[in-house]
Amino acid sequence: MDMSRKPAQPPESGTAEFDRELGVALEAGRRAAAVILDFYDRDAAEAYTKRDGSPVTDADLASDKVIREVIGSAVPKDALLTEEGASSRARIASPRCWIVDPIDGTAQFIARTGLFDVMIALAVDGRPVVGVSVRPVDGLVHAAIKGRGAWEYDGAIRRPFEIAPAPGPPRLVSSKWYGGRDRGAGLARIADRLGAQPIPIQEVGFQARNFAASERAFDAFIGLPPGSGRSIAQEWDLAAVDVIVTEAGGAFTDCWGRRHRYNKRSTGISGGIVASASLDLHKRVIAAIAPEIPLDPPPPDPADLPEPGEPGP
């Protein structure tokens, strides 16, 4: 990674492009994490079930409220899309949209594993330019600015976040949240093509911190697209980790090698995801996936897909 891109001073205190926005995201993430941790320590958050069957808790809603307040106060003209907040199509007209998951890993929050994060990103013209993830249980932060690099904040210590390439045969992983349990045969063939061990299926999704040296257990994460070509994830699941992984020297695309787009009409992700520790490994993983997916990729915006029963374009 090109070290010359990194600012000499903490980026949230600088004056370069998106320094202020990173500072806003860090402030929102840290304040939300404190609120979440209070619920967590007291074991005081009631859990509910949303219409889609996924869980939500009082801590998710409180985190959402804090983040909205911080971002709304700092940049009131920007659009805002959060998992727990109402989504208005009016946001599409804005070139700047904040994309937020107040708690990524609500099931882990409920199970009290500590494996959950606050995710905040700013997308400009459909691409993430600022990303922040905060793990409330210990305050570990990963952050990035497009074209400027990525950083890890551990308490008062700030250091560059750079992903080391895979040292040998790649270690691959998938997740039950990204179709891993439904695509076992295809994942096994992908592993064979890469000379890798069988692919374990995680109970959690993907976080940029998974590529940190202290937590590194795999070199590439694969979420194959659903057979229908419809959504495997939502924008708030990916926007922050997208820019953090990319700026740390990794690669993050869909299964056809296309960069994801954000602030779309539909918030869904239609092409699956691949996150790799290096560009070289990423190319190999994409090539290994190719026989398992259609030649023609689905449209990036699931809103452009025909409704069930309708003919395709």
Count the Cβ atoms, other than its own, within 10 Å of residue 214.
8
Count Cβ neighbours within 10 Å for each residue of 147-184 and write b for 16 or more, e otherwise. ebbbbbbeeeeeeebbbeebeeebbbbbbebbbbeebe
Can you give the three-state secondary structure of 202-230, one letter per residue?
ECCCCCHHHHCCCCCCCCEEEECCCCCCC
> In this structure, what token pair is assigned to residue 111?
């199970």
Q: How many CB atoms neighbour CB 204 within 10 A?
A: 17
Contact between 232 and 225 under an 8 Å Cβ cutoff? The reply is yes
Look up residue 164 and give its amino acid. A
Please indicate if the annotation marks 201 as binding a ligand.
no
Dihedral of CA atoms 105, 218, 147, 119 in degrees, nearest 10, equals 0
101 is in an annotated binding site: yes
**103 labelled as ligand-binding?**
yes
247, amino acid identity: E
**Which is nearest to 286 in space by CA: 213, 170, 211, 190?**
190
3-state helix/strand/coil string of 13-59: HCCCCCHHHHHHHHHHHHHHHHHHHHHHHHCCCCEEECCCCCEEEHH
Annotated binding residues, written as ranges, equal: 83, 101, 103-104, 237
Annotated binding residues for Mg(2+), written as ranges, equal: 83, 101, 103-104, 237
